[in-house]
Amino acid sequence: MQEMLANPAVQGGLAPFVAALVVAALLTPFRLGGLAVVAAFATAVYFIAGFTFSPLTATRKIILLGFAAPLAGIVIDFALRPTRFEAGMLALAGAAAAAWIFWPVLAQMDLERGLLLGGTAVLATAWTIGFSHSRLAEDGVRAGAAGLALGAGTGAAAILGASLTYGLYGFAVAAGSGAFLLVQMIIGRKTHAGATFMLAATVVTMLLAAATMILAQLPWYAVLALAFVPVAASLPLRAGAPIWLQAVLLSFLGLVVAGIACALAWQAGG
Amino acid sequence: MSNKFAAGLIAAALPLTAAAAPESFTVDPYHSFPYFEAVHLGTSVIRGHFEKISGKLVLDTAARSGAIELAVPTATLTTGDNDKGSRPRSRDEHLRSPDFFNVAEFPAMSYKGKATKFNGDAPATVEGELTLLGVSKPVTLTVERWKCGPDPRTQGKRYFCGGNATGAFNRSDFGMKFIVGPVSDEVKLWMSLEAFRD
């Protein structure tokens, strides 16, 4: 049993998926099925690094924000009306989070490299959070597909960029999003994603991608490519298509963009 | 007491005074290297080392005391595998990533210790703190083959000390928890150290 739980495929895939499926199945009736993604992420963190937050490294800051994002999402979903202003404010908060996490490392780099990597991290995080919140959060299938592709893309790109830990965290988000999508495919209707789901999925994945770029070896343009995954998940589909088909098609479109990011990462290491 | 006799006494005492005073040394970066080793998949031992080190030693053999401060730039690590070939990354690249040494965020590690046991004039045990990934934990080093004397390469113009130090720590104590098990938690240290008197 201990050996099985030490297997990276279990830590970053199977265990997060099971945890997310349970959460999505139990909490969907209460419009909280989006917590599936943080359940998956927390499961991976438990197995891989544990809940230690001192010293507060960049990775631990990402974990903290990954836990805080769905809590903020619940407040937003239940207390506020979705507006463009709200999406803009969330994008700004994402940019500030990226700056808070990476500033200590960027400050040690030469100016040109620091500006390039820091600018990419801030812009990609802000754009992904803002766009996803304004265009995908109200549609459970589109949100789930974006989370699945962002998680899988970040996971694979992180492994290519020399960090298996970030890779497993990314795959955990993909597993959580997959569980969230699966519940919708089984019941045959869209469920509520909202900021509870979308904020957690985008904050964790984009900050992990930025961390792989700044602390490991992911090229900056691969991070920018990942930021276009939500655009793919927002493309129009034939009206009236069954939920399972929408989920498959939108996930496929997102994964194509994620695949481009991974190809860029692979090429950069060659 | 005549002035000549007093001056003679002082002159005779000077070398003793000098020998008893604490002496400061600077680490010779060309003959000092920290090596590390960990067990891979429960079978083979993978060894690596850091290519750069700097530091200071203070030694007072008469008082049987000593102190050491070392700083190691973590990005200089190598295990001999730095060509990724057809893999996503080489082992050295992976060791520099946040999975292990996280060199971008923690570009240096350090050791600060005091000699607590002597074997004659030679320090035998150093007790101190290793700071790695922003975490400081006690690590004890055992010193072997310690020797001080005139440096034969400079016909004795320079005075130097040198020896080897060994120790061990659990990497998970420092937050380096990635695949503990397949790669051993215990990391053994082996350090060659030479230093010139300032």
CATH number for B29: 2.40.128.110
What's the length of chain A?
270
Question: Bridge-partner residues for B55, per DSSP?
Answer: B70
Side-chain half-sphere of B7: how many Cα atoms within 13 Å? 3
- Asked whether residue A34 is domain-assigned, the answer is yes
Dump the DSSP string for A103-168. HHHHTTS-HHHHHHHHHHHHHHHHHHHHHHHHHTTT-HHHHHHHHHHHHHHHHHHHHHTT-HHHHH
Residues B27, B52: Cα–Cα separation, whole Å: 11
- Asked whether residue A131 is domain-assigned, the answer is yes
Structural contact between residues B24 and B57, judged by C-beta atoms closer than 8 angstroms: yes
Residues A262, B13: Cα–Cα separation, whole Å: 74
- From the CA of B175, how many Å to the nearest CA of chain A? 8
A217 touches chain B (CB under 8 A): yes
- Asked whether residue A1 is domain-assigned, the answer is no
Q: Phi first, then psi: give them for residue B45, nearest 5 degrees.
A: -105, 120
- Asked whether residue B55 is domain-assigned, the answer is yes
Would the CB atoms of B102 and A165 count as touching at under 8 Å? no
Q: How many separate domains does chain B show?
A: 1
Residues A265, A64: Cα–Cα separation, whole Å: 27
Host domain of residue B59:
22-197
Q: How many separate domains does chain A show?
A: 1
Residue B15 pLDDT class (50, 70, 90 cuts): very low
Segment B32-43 mean pLDDT: 94
**Both tokens of residue A240?**
């009236």
Residues A134, B183: Cα–Cα separation, whole Å: 44
What pLDDT does B48 receive?
96
Residues A253, A105: Cα–Cα separation, whole Å: 34
Task: Give Cβ neighbours of residue A139 (< 8 Å, ≥ 6 apart).
Answer: A190, A193
- Asked whether residue B15 is domain-assigned, the answer is no
Residue A240 pLDDT class (50, 70, 90 cuts): confident
Taking residue B68's Cβ as centre, other Cβ atoms within 10 Å add up to: 24
In chain B, count H helices and then E strands. Answer: 2, 11
Say how far residue B105 (Cα) sits from the centre of its chain: 22
What pLDDT does B3 receive?
55
Name every chain A residue with its beta carbon within 8 A of the beta carbon of B99: 162-165
Query: What is the number of CB-based contacts under 8 A between chain A and chain B?
Result: 70
Residue B4 pLDDT class (50, 70, 90 cuts): low
pLDDT tens figures, A34-84: 999 999 999 999 999 889 898 999 999 999 999 999 999 999 988 877 677
Would the CB atoms of B88 and A57 count as touching at under 8 Å? no
Residue for token pair 């067990």:
B39
pLDDT tens figures, A177-201: 999 999 999 999 999 899 999 999 9
**Cis peptide bond N-terminal to A55, omega within 30:** yes
Q: Least CB-CB distance to B175: which of A52, A160, A214?
A: A52
In this model, does residue B13 exceed pLDDT 60?
no
In this model, does residue A17 exceed pLDDT 80?
yes
**Both tokens of residue A225?**
């490519």
Dump the DSSP string for A243-261. HHHHHHHHHHHHHHHHHHH
- From the CA of B46, how many Å to the nearest CA of chain A? 19
- Asked whether residue A58 is domain-assigned, the answer is yes
Structural contact between residues A197 and A78, judged by C-beta atoms closer than 8 angstroms: no
Q: Least CB-CB distance to A165: which of B88, B99, B133?
A: B99
- Asked whether residue B157 is domain-assigned, the answer is yes
B93 touches chain A (CB under 8 A): yes
- Asked whether residue B81 is domain-assigned, the answer is yes
Host domain of residue A166:
7-269
Nearest in space to B84 (alpha carbons), one of A265, A225, A261: A265
Would the CB atoms of A55 and B99 count as touching at under 8 Å? no
pLDDT tens figures, B102-153: 999 999 999 999 999 999 889 999 999 999 999 999 999 999 999 999 988 8
- Asked whether residue B10 is domain-assigned, the answer is no
Residues B105, A101: Cα–Cα separation, whole Å: 11
Q: What's the ipTM?
A: 0.87
Is residue B127 classed as helix, strand or coil in its secondary structure? strand
Structural contact between residues B77 and B42, judged by C-beta atoms closer than 8 angstroms: no
Q: Phi first, then psi: give them for residue A219, nearest 5 degrees.
A: -70, 150
pLDDT tens figures, A97-143: 999 999 999 999 999 999 999 999 999 999 999 999 999 999 999 99
